[in-house]
Amino acid sequence: MTDNTMTAAAPAGAIPSASDSSASATNANSTTFAVILSLSFCHLLNDMMQSLVPALYPILKESYALSFGQVGLITLAFQCTASMLQPVVGFYTDKKPQPYSLMVGMGFTLVGLLMMSRADSYPSILVAAALIGMGSSVFHPEASRVARMAAGGRYGLAQSLFQVGGNMGSAAGPLLAAFIVVPRGQHSIVWFSAAALVAMVVLFQVGGWYARRRGGQRPAARKVPVAAAATSSGATASGLSKGRVAMAVAILIVLLFSKNFYSASLGSYFTFYLITKFGVSVETAQLYLFAFLVGIVVGTLLGGAVGDRVGRIPVMWFSILGALPFALMLPWANLFWTGVLAVTVAMIMASAFSAILVYAQELMPGRVGLVAGMFFGFSFGLGGLGAAALGRLADVTGIETVYKVTPFLLLLGLLTAFLPKRPGRPVVPN
């Protein structure tokens, strides 16, 4: 006889035993952990599919005789829906949660991939890229909300596990593209639609859990929190004035800017830097880039777990300013130490994103979707702008100059001193 049967057979007025309570807590923890891992897995698939779009650029440029400007418009179509729609989706679902929107969003990606694999004109390519980006704009804010819902108080760890999936997908995408898409051409994109189908099945199960969880919490949600009652006097639900919250959000965006702008120099141009400065082969440069991406995965996990223990602000201090000395040394190092320093910088800087996101969610409780959409959107957008600006700088002054100048952007991390201390206090699970 299972535990569920035994529980159902117990008398209505019976007091649950300690073992029953322990078993129930264990089952709940197992369920929520499975939800977070499911979201991380789908994040891996989502970001892997997103990374296929840039991999197609050389093929599309040659096949359709596109100019660099037209290639840029494909990126614009993709980024506009992937970045700019995220805050809109988050704002809407904060007011009207949609448990199965994750599956629907992945459906946009599926349609976009199928259209991209069969596109035979430039306008259809633009529409396909926009649909793939639209899938991402729905996925990130809603998946982040569900990850927080399943966190059990370990918000940093939950966001880190969720984010790691995306990091791994971004790392795997170019490798899959190199071995499948580039040799086999545009039509091979259709094979990756299977990943979208798998993600839709998993997200349908997550949506069912989300709907049941919302249904179970709805009666309690009618109670008005004491903090929320203060909003009529000019304070927000976090207990801070609206002005302080706005200032804190602006600082977090600046911190994200400094982090992503520098990360773009490593993520987008590191292989070119190694080839230009040290004369290594493309294969060797790719191995160094892979090590850098692994450093991001490790740093993301550590940053979330540490943030739950010591607070978000210390992690932000360490993540941005702590990377500065290593970033300053990198342009002057030999090949071996360049690899070591790049991985070190990646680990330290990657720890910031979960801390920034969770801190922002604590600043604006009840706006989890809006915050996630805003910060994931800004993360994509700032990374894209950074890559474009640094590419122009490299054209004018040389690739090595990029790595000598960009570390000073990390000094913007000093603005962390102006963040309110109350949000971001450590949340230690019982």
Q: What is the pLDDT of residue 123?
A: 92
Question: CA-CA-CA-CA torsion for 152, 157, 161, 167, nearest 10 degrees?
Answer: 150
Beta bridge mates, 235 = 241
In this predicted structure, the answer to whether residue 326 has a pLDDT above a threshold of 90 is yes
> Which amino acid is present at 31?
T
Residue 311: helix, strand or coil by DSSP? coil
In this predicted structure, the answer to whether residue 19 has a pLDDT above a threshold of 50 is no
Going from the N-terminus, what domains does the chain have, and what CATH number goes with each?
Answer: 30-215 (1.20.1250.20), 235-430 (1.20.1250.20)
Q: What is the pLDDT of residue 195?
A: 92
Residue 31: helix, strand or coil by DSSP? helix
Is 292:343 a contact under the CB 8 Å cutoff?
yes
pLDDT band, residue 12 (cuts 50/70/90): very low
Q: What is the pLDDT of residue 331?
A: 92
Q: What is the pLDDT of residue 148?
A: 81
- Per-residue model confidence as pLDDT tens digits over 187-213: 888 898 899 999 999 999 998 898 888
- Per-residue model confidence as pLDDT tens digits over 383-426: 666 766 777 777 788 888 888 888 888 888 888 888 887 654 44
Q: What is the pLDDT of residue 82?
A: 76
In this predicted structure, the answer to whether residue 223 has a pLDDT above a threshold of 50 is no
Is 91:369 a contact under the CB 8 Å cutoff?
yes
- Per-residue model confidence as pLDDT tens digits over 155-189: 777 877 887 888 788 777 767 776 777 778 888 88
- Report residue 16 as tokens: 């649950």
- Per-residue model confidence as pLDDT tens digits over 108-140: 999 999 999 888 888 999 999 889 989 888 888
Is 389:252 a contact under the CB 8 Å cutoff?
no
Q: From residue 323, how far is each of 205, 207, 259, 319, 416 by CA, in Å? A: 40, 39, 10, 6, 15
* Percent share of the chain, pLDDT over 70: 78
Beta bridge mates, 241 = 235
pTM given for the model: 0.64
